[in-house]
Amino acid sequence: MRSRFQQGLDELRQKLLRMGGLAEQAVDRACQAYLDRDLSRCQMVLEGETQINVSEREIDELAFDLLAMQQPMAVDLRFILAVTKINADLERVGDQAVNIAERVMDMVSLPAVDLPVDISRMAAAVSAMVRRALESFIEAKAELAQAVLEMDNVVDRMRDEAFIVLVKTMNEKPETTRQALDALLVARNLERVADHATNIAEDVIFWVRGADVRHNVPQEASGQEEPAQRAATETH
């Protein structure tokens, strides 16, 4: 096969995986910082943001080059398009991690308060979603991506519950309003991360099956099994 093109595809894949790792790490760090009230971890998240932004630009540039110079078709074209979209989502995930870190920094400056909301459970779920979405990309397996889509509802419910609980808390104990608000915002940020993970999963399905499953409207899928699977194994 056109070896320079194949090399370009491999490089794109590697870069995206690295960026995925960075984004996943940022979310995990931010959540851990919230749970441990750890300022140093917040600092690491903020500093890691630059790397993620640089990565986003590099990936877009490489994808653009490949599109312009190599006239990719079918599965290769879908792959590159999916990569550019996943790229954007990962950068957003990084942004959300920074938002969480900023909330944590505010929280730590205030006295600790016991809130009846289980952020750690939500954080675990969201983290799992991100990890699984990235796995589905590495393995080029649409079933893994499908599982991520299903988890989104769970996370949405968690956010809604947190909302109700925290509003009640703010009404009953107005002195904890600021901490509750911080927690609420963190919950919202986590839910946003889950949304981005869902997007990533949808993009993987698009790449692997040629089916556009966004907004819950499945279009014609390919008649054959997992063309991207073969492409992925070839890149190994």
Partner 1 sequence: MGVGIQVENLNAWYGKTQALHEINLNVQANHATALIGPSGCGKSTFIRCLNRMHETSPEARVEGKVRIGEYDAYEGTSATRLRRRIGMVFQKPNPFPTMSIYDNVAAGLKLNGYRDKKHLDEVVEKSLISSALWEEVKDSIHKKSGASLSGGQQQRLCIARALAVEPEVLLMDEPCSALDPISTGKIEELIFELKAQYTIVIVTHNMQQAARVAEFTGFFLLGRMIEFDKTEKIFTNPSDKRTEDYITGRFG
Binding site for partner 1 (CB under 8 A): 1-2, 5, 71-78, 210, 220, 222-224, 227, 230, 234
Q: Which is nearer to partner 1, 98 or 231 (CB)?
A: 231
CA-based nearest residue to 204, from 99, 95, 89: 89
Q: Please, what is the Cα angle at 32 between 192 and 173, to 5 degrees?
A: 75
Q: Which residues of 195-217 are buried (b: 16+ CB within 10 A; e: fewer)?
A: bbbbbbbbbbbbbbbbbebeeee
Spatial separation of the C-alpha atoms in residues 30 and 43, rounded to whole Å = 9
Spatial separation of the C-alpha atoms in residues 47 and 51, rounded to whole Å = 8
In angstroms, what is the minimal distance from the CB of 148 to partner 1? 22
In angstroms, what is the minimal distance from the CB of 199 to partner 1? 20
Q: Which is nearer to partner 1, 77 or 185 (CB)?
A: 77
CA-based nearest residue to 157, from 200, 180, 136, 187: 187
Q: Which is nearer to partner 1, 80 or 122 (CB)?
A: 80
In angstroms, what is the minimal distance from the CB of 2 to partner 1? 5
Torsion of CA 188, 31, 119, 87, to 10 degrees: 40
Q: What is the DSSP letter of 220?
A: P
Q: Which is nearer to partner 1, 146 or 222 (CB)?
A: 222
In angstroms, what is the minimal distance from the CB of 234 to partner 1? 8
Q: Which is nearer to partner 1, 34 or 206 (CB)?
A: 206
In angstroms, what is the minimal distance from the CB of 213 to partner 1? 14
